[in-house]
Structures are given as structure tokens and as C-alpha cells.
Amino acid sequence: MTSNDGLFERACHHIPGGVNSPVRAFGSVGGIPRFLERGAGAHVWDVDGKRYIDYVGSWGPLILGHAHPAVLEAVTRAARNGLSFGAPTAAEVELADLLCQRMPSMQQVRLVSSGTEATMSAIRLARGYTGRDKLVKFEGCYHGHADALLVKAGSGLLTFGNPSSAGVPAGAAADTLVLPYNDVDALQTLFAQQGDRIAAIIVEPIAGNMNLVQPSPAFVNALRTLSQAHGSLLIYDEVMTGFRVGPQGAQGLHGIQPDLTCLGKVVGGGMPLAAFGGRADVMAKLAPLGPVYQAGTLSGNPVAVAAGLATLNEIAAPGFFETLGRQTTALAQGLCDAANANGTVFSAQAVGGMFGIYFSPHPPTSYGEVMNSDRAAFNAFFHAMLEEGVYFAPSAFEAGFVSCQHSAEDLEATFAAARKVFAQIALNTR
């Protein structure tokens, strides 16, 4: 038994499933998760000393790669001054200013510690502001694990084939209305019937928790015009896409001003930091100014804020997103070429530093299409690539991530591994 396998066995004694977040468990692809010990740039090493090219990036935050010197320096400097105060600090003000500058739809912002907290709080705020209860979400979109949002959700829930959770009282989800992603007709019909009871639409503006699914321009526009016409708030959940698909997130790419935006992942640079913000008149309803309660002992934690500030500073470098987008597109194209050369049914696409790979002829546009991809082929691909030292997300339903540290050599090594693996898969399925 390797020390990795031994560690997993030990982990299972006192940690349910051996992991502290379900998708880490390899439940979808089978086998034993890798215990990681160290990361540097585009690479991670497991406890057995094996190196991998990492396309997970801690599930999105690490746009600068692992252990980026500027982030480490900022974090250690902040830590030396104390880990937490539970009182306001100057760095929080700096981060809030920067976030509102970078994302013009945000006039005010509040810092929290996880994406789940951001979406949960944004929804409470939307309900408090509008005085309405109903919430619209889309099939396959994941917005964290708050009760009202665990209905037909993506990410780990899809991975385990159960897009809703036990332990959610019927009442907690009764006001959550679920529609298919990209279905403009369904959205119009719903708003025509009960638009005046809908507090908010929450959407992954580019979905990344049912693999990567792009919205159609018509869908993007319908979300904005219908919510506006009916006095409902539009919440862009950009926990994954914010500062990942472009300098202003998906809203910058879409040219849309949502009423509220949720941020996480990249904004914390690998530390527990997230945020929600938007229109000043809406944010004014939050305590201590208004009646909507929301709080956190570690909110705006100085060490996490330091990591966020350092990350936002680095990604503001001229050409950062152009280079990242080029590399990510090259990765998607190279994987397609490797698959095509072996006659494997495969497609891929990239947006900014985010990509999707699919064992289907075209990138899917809905949860239903995602579910039609060849999962067995993905699982075989995943394990063979892992063996070759390439670490993709251990599920066919997750997006992948490239960092600015992924070099041309990393991509070439990935393609060489993929050519070998696709040839094996073609042989086995013949």
C-alpha cells in the first residue's frame, strides 16, 4: 500500500468519506483521492512524491498558480500583524474600493468567508429588499449549499447523481422555482404567471458546475429584461467566473449590469474570502443600516484580504487575461486535436481561464445535454491522465482551470499524455 492509500484509509476513520468536501472523494470517477502535499506554479505533488500538471487550481481560486510569491509575501506580512481582530481594518476598505472599481455594477460590497455565505446572504437581501419570497434558479447551477439552493443543483450533487439533498425541509425549498438553463420560453412563461412574486433570479452567468455551459445571448438578455420589468433582482453568481473569465467577470463579457453580484474563489486568492455587492439602494437594506441581518466573526479577515488584494493586483497587469485566454483556448484545441486523431467523440471550449471538456460531439447547452455525455469515457480518460501526471477535476461535471503559470511546456506535456491516453481508449472500445 502506498502512503497515499494508507492516509486515505486513516482519513476515513474520523472524517466522513475521508474528505472535507464531497467532490474531493473521487466518488464519480472511482478510486482513491490523491493527498496533495505541495504546489508550485502549475504543479502539485502528492504525498508519494508524484508530480501533476494541475488543472483544478483548488477548484478555481488559483489563477496565479500555487504559492505565488506576491501572494505569499502579502499573506505572511499580514499574518505577522495578527490573524483576526473582529474590528474594521484599512485593508478591507482598500479591497472594497478595488472591487467596486473593477466591477462597475457594484456600488457597495460586503466581505464574507465563502461563496455559500455570499449567495445565501444575497438571496436574503433580495427577499428583504423586494418583500417577496420566490426565487428562480436553473437546473445544474450550483450556488453553494444553503438549503433553499440545494434543488436541482450542480457540482458535487451531480457528481453523486442526486441533484437535491436530504435534510432540506420541503418548506426551505418551496419558494425555489427551477427552470432549464438557456430556456427563454420557460422564463417568459414563469414571469408572465408570477413575476410579481419573484424576489430574484440567481444564475451562474456562465455555468461551471455542470461542466462548462455557455448561455445564449437571448438567455442573457431575457434574464435582465424580464427581472427588470417585474421588479425582481438579478443576481449574478460570479463566485467561479468573477476575475476568472475576464477582468470584469461574465458581466463584463455580457455587457450586463446585474443588481447583485456574488464573488468568491479568485477574489480570495486561495484564502477563505468571498463577497456580495451591488446597487447601493439594495445594499443599504443590510444591517447595521437596514433590516436584513448578515454577519460573520471572520468576515474581512485580514490575512484573507491580503491574499485577495495581492491577487487582484497581479491580474490587473496589462495583457494578463489575453495571455491566459490564449493558453486556455490552446489547451481546449490541443485536447480536441488529440481526441480527433484517435476518432474519439470529444469537444472542448474555453472562456478566459476556464474550460470544459466533453465526451460528446458538441459542447452542451443545458443540464439535459450534459447528462448525455459519455461518463464512462470521461472516467477512463481521467484515470489514465492522472497516471500520466495530469490532474483534471475528478468528475465529468466540473469545469477546469488554467493559471498564468501554465507554460507552453505544460500544455505540450498535456497533449502528449492525451494522445497516448486517447489511443488507449480507442483501442479498448474497439
Ligand X SMILES: *Cc1c(COP(=O)(O)O)cnc(C)c1O
Which residues contribute to the site for ligand X (CB under 6 A)? 114-116, 119, 142-144, 204, 208-209, 237, 239-240, 264, 274
Alpha helices in 131-177 (DSSP H): 156-159, 170-173
Between 396 and 418, whose beta carbon lies closer to ligand X?
A: 396
Closest contact distance (angstroms) between CB of 193 and ligand X is 27
Are residues 134 and 199 in contact, defined by beta-carbon separation less than 8 angstroms? yes
Between 209 and 365, whose beta carbon lies closer to ligand X?
A: 209
Closest contact distance (angstroms) between CB of 115 and ligand X is 2
Grid coordinates representing 6?
A: 494508507
Between 58 and 194, whose beta carbon lies closer to ligand X?
A: 58
Between 34 and 143, whose beta carbon lies closer to ligand X?
A: 143
Between 115 and 270, whose beta carbon lies closer to ligand X?
A: 115
Q: Cell 417577496, residue?
A: 132
Between 240 and 384, whose beta carbon lies closer to ligand X?
A: 240
Closest contact distance (angstroms) between CB of 238 and ligand X is 7
Closest contact distance (angstroms) between CB of 237 and ligand X is 5
How distant, in Å, are the alpha carbons of 151, 308, 413 from that of 115? 17, 14, 33
Are residues 399 and 355 in contact, defined by beta-carbon separation less than 8 angstroms? yes
Residues identified as active-site: 142, 237, 265
In the bound complex, which residue of the shown chain has the CB atom lying closest to ligand X? 115
Are residues 407 and 54 in contact, defined by beta-carbon separation less than 8 angstroms? no
Name residues whose C-beta falls within 8 Å of residue 375's C-beta, 6 or more positions apart in sequence.
28, 359, 396
Between 366 and 414, whose beta carbon lies closer to ligand X?
A: 366
Closest contact distance (angstroms) between CB of 425 and ligand X is 29
How distant, in Å, are the alpha carbons of 94, 333, 412 from that of 178? 38, 34, 42
Name residues whose C-beta falls within 8 Å of residue 13's C-beta, 6 or more positions apart in sequence.
none
Alpha helices in 41-197 (DSSP H): 69-80, 90-102, 115-130, 156-159, 170-173, 184-194
Enter the DSSP assignment of 37.
E
**Closest by CA position to 202, among listed 295, 107, 116:** 116
Closest contact distance (angstroms) between CB of 256 and ligand X is 16
Q: What is the CA radius of gyration of the chain?
A: 21
State the Cα–Cα distance between residues 20 and 123, nearest whole angstrom: 26
Closest contact distance (angstroms) between CB of 429 and ligand X is 32
Q: How far is CA 300 from the centre of its chain?
A: 20
